[in-house]
Amino acid sequence: MAEINPSAIETLRSRLTTATVLTPDSDGYQDSLIRWSDTGRKQAVWQKDSWDGVVIQPVNVADIQSAVLWAQEHSVDLAVKGGGHSTAGTSSSEGGLVVDLSRMTHVSVDVPSKTITAQGGATWKEVDEAGAAHGLATVGGTVNHTGIGGLTLGGGYGWLSGQYGLTIDNLRSARVVLADGSLVTASETEHPDLFWGLRGAGYNFGVVVEFTYQAYDQSPLVYSGILGYSPDKLEKVIEQLNGTLANPDARSGAMCIFAHGPGGSGPMIIVICFYNGTREEGQDRFAGFLALDPFLNTVDMIPYSVVNTLQNPQATYGDRKSFKGIFYEPPLDPHFMRSVFDEFMAKIQTDNDLMPSAIILEFIDMRKICETPLPATAFASRNMTQNGILYLRWTDPSKDLEHRTWARSVQAKWKAELETRKKDLQTENDVPQYINYAEPGDSVVTNIYGENLARLQSVKAQYDPNNVFHKMHPIPLFTGEKLKK
């Protein structure tokens, strides 16, 4: 990788119109490096007469186009930062150019067409609140300070997925700056091959500067909140969670979180309930949970936009973090879950630096998601397999390898359990893994693109043949021989 000398940076400055250019000697540079996880933070280093890194913060598309071309001209690594939630540093560059979209957050709503259009640096908070102002909502993230870009381009599950599918199933168009610097609109009618690839592998093709989503009429209030249970009720809670999937309701969803309570209150089981309906309907849906006499109950009729803040206290910025995707075929085995819970709590109680960690399991009605044929988008895991995350959080950098190694061992146990369940149920879900829950280079979560890989390689060869965009689950390039065939 080439070093970035001062003259090259001056060339970049001269080609930009309103973008802020930050190098390590600039005010605001350190702030620009902040990511949701400290493990995602990288920075430039001064070497002799050159910087080996630079950040730009554009406010218009033209400056993004100029930056993309400049990076290639100077053989500089390119990263794109939206919400900055990657724990693996895919929105950062050590020695390259970061295009930081944090100043491009405008959201607009077209009420007649029921669409929401958001710039690439927006978060789901902005989208949720803009939609709510007009009685609308779209399928978005369940932690509202997550950027819209990464979640969308990898698929996107949310509380409304049971009714409306994935976020990509509700993406109507995207404006993209390609590797050659051109700006194109991708939709079902314009660049449909690129639009296909964006929906499930979209990190690989360009800088998406604008997303337009289909939205839906949304009641001001929904039935949702947090239930807390003591560890002795684990098996009964799992029984109720399994029941939500055995008797699915498109308007309903749940999350189960194994965590240590705040203030040293000890291990606990948290259930976040969601029902997109009336209080009476929600109470009926979650009657079995309420009958277990939770010691914590915040469930009430609340605005939909508030539902996506319920995990925020656990998902704050700072510290070192790791995501490991865990996946399961319902129903969950209560004996397996007891072993998972006990092992996890023993680990974080042994190493107090891991105390803020959690295991998060999702319970979503997958029927609407599975209605879309697998070849219709690049998203490769349309099946009934449910998603979860082993979420580790710590502060000591010297423990990075140790904690990630342990996380992989836990992840491997879930994979073994999944394979056993698949055999028992005689299912053939070849790609159970959700791309957004798979850290790049993960040796356990493999086969991300499944049968869509060959077509993705063709789209990649057309729109980014030199692999400029390669940070997140890069698509293997065709060889020259393959391209000739």
- C-alpha distances in Å from residue 339, one per residue of 82, 235, 269, 336: 38, 11, 14, 5
What is the pLDDT, as a whole number, of residue 50? Answer: 46
> Distance between CA atoms of 247 and 85, rounded to whole angstroms?
34
> Distance between CA atoms of 138 and 215, rounded to whole angstroms?
4
Same domain, 245 and 290: yes
- pLDDT category at 93 given cuts 50, 70, 90 is confident
Same domain, 353 and 454: no
In a domain, 445, yes or no: no
In a domain, 93, yes or no: yes
In a domain, 32, yes or no: yes
Average pLDDT over residues 253-282: 95
The contacts of residue 261 (CB under 8 Å, 6+ apart) are 228, 267, 268
In a domain, 405, yes or no: yes
Same domain, 274 and 410: yes
User: Domain of 316: which CATH number?
Assistant: 3.40.462.20
- 157-167: pLDDT as tens digits: 999 999 999 99
What is the pLDDT, as a whole number, of residue 446? Answer: 67
In a domain, 1, yes or no: no
> If you ran DSSP here, which 8-state letter would residue 4 be given?
B
Distance of CA 39 to the CA centre of its chain: 16
Question: Helix (H, G, I), strand (E, B), or coil: what is residue 228?
Answer: strand
How many helices (H) and strands (E) would you count in the chain?
A: 16, 21
> Distance between CA atoms of 300 and 221, rounded to whole angstroms?
9
> Distance between CA atoms of 467 and 131, rounded to whole angstroms?
36
Same domain, 264 and 205: no
- Select the more confidently predicted residue: 44 or 107: 107
From 100, 134, 158, give the residue that closes a domain.
100
Same domain, 129 and 186: yes
Q: What is the count of structural domains for the chain?
A: 4
From 100, 120, 151, give the residue that closes a domain.
100
Same domain, 301 and 345: yes
Average pLDDT over residues 1-6: 70
User: Domain of 185: which CATH number?
Assistant: 3.30.465.10
What is the pLDDT, as a whole number, of residue 89? Answer: 78
In a domain, 148, yes or no: yes
Same domain, 428 and 300: yes
Same domain, 310 and 398: yes
Same domain, 182 and 247: no
What is the pLDDT, as a whole number, of residue 86? Answer: 83
141-151: burial string, b at 16+ Cβ within 10 Å, e else: bbbbbbbbbbb
- pLDDT category at 367 given cuts 50, 70, 90 is very high
- pLDDT category at 52 given cuts 50, 70, 90 is low
| Residue 139 in tokens | 């399928």
Average pLDDT over residues 264-271: 92
Same domain, 338 and 197: no
Q: Are 471 and 440 in contact (CB under 8 A)?
A: yes
396: containing domain: 221-437
Q: Are 479 and 466 in contact (CB under 8 A)?
A: no
- 386-444: pLDDT as tens digits: 999 999 999 999 999 999 999 999 999 999 999 888 888 777 767 667 889 887 766 56
In a domain, 295, yes or no: yes
What is the pLDDT, as a whole number, of residue 485? Answer: 30
Which of 181, 180, 171 lies closest to 202, judged by CA? 171
Same domain, 111 and 91: no
Whether residue 121 has pLDDT greater than 50? yes
Same domain, 196 and 228: no
From 39, 66, 100, give the residue that closes a domain.
100
Burial of 485 (0-12, 13-18, 19+ CB in 10 A): exposed
User: Domain of 72: which CATH number?
Assistant: 3.30.43.10
- 309-333: pLDDT as tens digits: 999 999 999 999 999 999 999 999 9
- Residue length of the chain: 485
In a domain, 442, yes or no: no
